[in-house]
Homo-oligomer: A and B are copies of this chain.
Amino acid sequence: MTVRLLLADDQELVRSALSALLELEEDFEVVASVGRGDEVVDAARSHQPDVALLDIEMPGLDGLAAAAVLKVQVPACRVVVLTTFGRAGYLRRAMEAGVAGFVVKDAPSEVLASAIRRVMRGERVVDPALAALTLAAGESPLTARERDVLTVARSGATVAEIATKLYLSEGTVRNYLSAAIAKTSARNRLDALRRADERGWL
A194 to B14, CA, bound (A): 27
Q: Interface readout for A167-192 with B: 1 if CB under 8 Å, 0 if not?
A: 00000000000000000001111111
A157 and B194 CA atoms in complex are apart in Å by: 11
Check B106–A13 contact: CB distance below 8 A. Answer: yes
Q: Does A38 contact B (CB under 8 A)?
A: no
B105 touches A12 (CB 8 A): yes
Give min CB distance, A18 to chain B, whole Å: 5
| Chain B residues with CB under 8 A of A192 | 156
User: 26 interchain pairs (CB within 8 A)?
Assistant: A11-B106, A12-B106, A12-B107, A12-B108, A13-B21, A13-B82, A13-B103, A13-B106, A13-B112, A14-B14, A14-B17, A16-B21, A17-B17, A17-B18, A17-B21, A20-B20, A20-B23, A20-B24, A21-B21, A155-B191, A156-B187, A156-B188, A156-B190, A156-B194, A156-B195, A157-B188
Residues of B contacting A156 with CB < 8 Å?
A: 186-188, 190-195
Range of interface residues on chain A? 35 or more
Considering the chains assembled together, what is the distance between the CA atoms of A62 and B158 in angstroms? 34
Residue of B nearest to A184 (CB): B156
A20 CB to nearest B CB, Å? 4
Which residues of chain B have C-beta atoms less than 8 A from A161's C-beta? 187
In the bound complex, how far is the Cα of B11 from the Cα of A112, in angstroms? Answer: 13
**A153 near B106: Cβ-Cβ < 8 Å:** no
